[in-house]
């Protein structure tokens, strides 16, 4: 149970935001990047739907 929580931590996103800020030194660019991450993450959750619905779909 704990392994799933650890894997779900957005470490890559945090590192990408940090490196983006360090490279550009522009807070507005980092904010725009963070908003795009917030938009993309829920879409990526669609990948897990077959696994979550496997019992119901008898897969």
Q: What is residue 7's predicted lDDT score, i.e. its pLDDT?
A: 63
3-state secondary structure 40-57: HHHHHHHHHHHHHCHHHH
Using only C-alpha atoms, what is the Rg of the chain?
Answer: 16
Q: What is residue 1's predicted lDDT score, i.e. its pLDDT?
A: 59
Q: Quick check: pTM over 0.75?
A: no
Q: What is residue 2's predicted lDDT score, i.e. its pLDDT?
A: 57
Q: What is residue 27's predicted lDDT score, i.e. its pLDDT?
A: 92
Q: 1-59 pLDDT, tens per residue?
A: 556 655 666 778 888 889 989 999 999 998 998 888 888 878 888 888 898 899 998 87
Q: How many domains is the chain partitioned into structurally?
A: 1
User: Which domain does 35 fall in, by range?
Assistant: 2-57
């Amino acid at each position: 149970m704990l392994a799933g929580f650890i894997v779900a931590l957005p470490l890559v996103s945090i590192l990408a935001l940090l490196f983006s800020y360090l490279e550009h030194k522009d807070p507005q660019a980092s904010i725009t990047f963070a908003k795009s991450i917030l938009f993309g993450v829920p879409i990526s959750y669609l990948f897990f739907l077959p696994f979550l619905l496997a019992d119901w779909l008898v897969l």
